[in-house]
Amino acid sequence: MAVLLMGRWSGLPFHEWLADLNDEIVLFTTDDMQHPEFYHKLVRIQSFDTADVLWNALDQHRETPFTAVFGTSEYDVIRMGHLRDAIGVQGQSLASAIAYRDKVVMKEHAVKAGMEVAKFHRIETSLDLRLFVEQHGYPVVIKPVDGGGAVNTQVIHDEAQMLEFLKKGPLVNMMVETFVEGDMYHVDGIYKDGELLFASVSRYLNGCLAWQQGLSRGSLTLDPDSPLFVRMREKAIETIRALPETPLISFHAEFFLTPDDRILLCEIASRSGGARVVDTIQHVYGLHQNRTWTRLACGLNDKVVQPVPAELGGYLVVPSRPGVVRALPAEIPFDWVVDYTPGVKPGVQLDKPTNTVANLATFIVKGPTEETVEARLMQLNDWFLSAVEWEEEVEHSKA
């Protein structure tokens, strides 16, 4: 018997996380993985997004039957659902995978369960947008139904902006929803067999679309004893139970808290959070979400107990911007900075960022209270931006 791993991200230390797994491990990868000798079979593929991946996976299963099919990328969620259903392996089914990937299907399930969400509609043509705006007004949010990292997500404030947007090309795989005023929170955790094993609740700084305005983004963890932590955790459980049942997921759920104190579902993904979410959780709670998820998914029955944090924390992502960085700070003069990871090399020409991943640097900070962590994130952001040395533009005189 064997476990199939979709190793889209080559940096994951499966050789450490699954060192005590008795089943053989078959790894699909496009890159050189750490410690290739650890795997019983390493299958190199050209891309995870081509049609032959499932074909090859079925061949591997017939050679050595799989007991589990696992990967950490949301871009493989539906693919793995197809495979599990085809070979009869326990795990997230295709129906569940679609509900967590297709935001229209997701919100239809939520509404059916009585949850409150923004008004929404799947876009087939520009007429859908026209009729939606006539009914609900501006501003509206247009985004891919299965996107990630806020890529190709845009807030439209008026008709002139809408007409400019429509000139960019055909509307494919998109949805529209009403804009929701309020702060955004994210709940991250592991849910297994109808029980929430672990949860962390955080509040975003500047919102998910901050990078589009050149602003830094990040989040800070909430005190588990706070009433809002409890409300957000319960809303995450309600969301998971509204969607098709699945035996195990690591999840990243986003919610709006409106000025009149209502909690609305934004979206939920059946994978761990991006940016520095996992790293922040590990620092605050001492639990590595992806490691725990991987081990449970591969059949290792680890006991997971909700940890009590000794302190709170948060992360900061400083987005890149057009230009050339001459130098980044070598050291950070604050002892409450837990981690500093530069995102660019000096001397490289940078373009305008197209997603939330492109950054000058990322940080993790610690603090005793939410207020302290937030103040430190803002202080760090201001200090870092002033410390970065940018190459000045030189005007060339005309001959």
Mean of the pLDDT values across residues 121-144? 97
Domain assignment present for 102? no
Decide: helix, strand or coil at residue 337.
strand
Alpha-carbon distance of 311 to 314, in angstroms, equals 11
Average pLDDT, the chain: 93
Range of the domain at 35: 2-90
**64: which residues sit within 8 A by CB, 6+ positions away?**
1, 2, 24, 26, 40, 41
| Domain identity same for 170 and 256 | no
Query: For the ranges 183-192, 324-333, 343-352, 354-363, which has the lowest average pLDDT?
Result: 354-363
Task: Read off the pLDDT of each residue in 21-32 and give the average, rounded to a whole number.
Answer: 93
Q: Report pLDDT digits (tens) over 56-70.
A: 999 999 999 999 999
Q: What angle do CA 276, 184, 108 make, to 5 degrees?
A: 105
| Same structural domain, 195 and 79 | no
- Do 15 and 53 fall into the same domain? yes
Distance (Å) of CA 334 to CA 315, 319, 341, 384: 14, 21, 15, 11
254 & 126 share domain: no
Task: State which amino acid sits at residue 26.
Answer: V
Question: Long-range contacts of range 41-50, CB-CB < 8 Å, 24 or more positions apart?
Answer: 41/2, 48/6, 48/8, 48/73, 48/75, 48/76, 48/79, 49/75
148 has a pLDDT exceeding 80? no
Residues 347-384: tens digit of each pLDDT: 888 877 666 677 999 999 999 999 999 999 999 999 99
The answer on 253 and 342 residing in a single domain is yes
pTM: 0.93
Q: What is the pLDDT of residue 176?
A: 98
The per-residue DSSP string of 256-325 comes to EE-TTS-EEEEEEESS---TTHHHHHHHHHS--HHHHHHHHHTT-------PPPSSEEEEEEEE--SEEE
Whether residue 94 contacts residue 31, with contact meaning beta carbons closer than 8 Å, is answered with: no
Q: Are 96 and 244 spatial neighbours (Cβ–Cβ below 8 Å)? A: yes
Q: What is the DSSP letter of 102?
A: -
What tens digit of pLDDT does each residue of 67-88 get? Answer: 999 999 999 999 999 999 999 9
In this model, does residue 207 exceed pLDDT 70? no
Amino acid identity, position 222: L
- Kindly state whether residues 267 and 291 are assigned to the same domain: yes
Domain end marker among 51, 74, 90: 90
At 397 the pLDDT is 38
Question: For the chain, what is the domain count?
Answer: 3
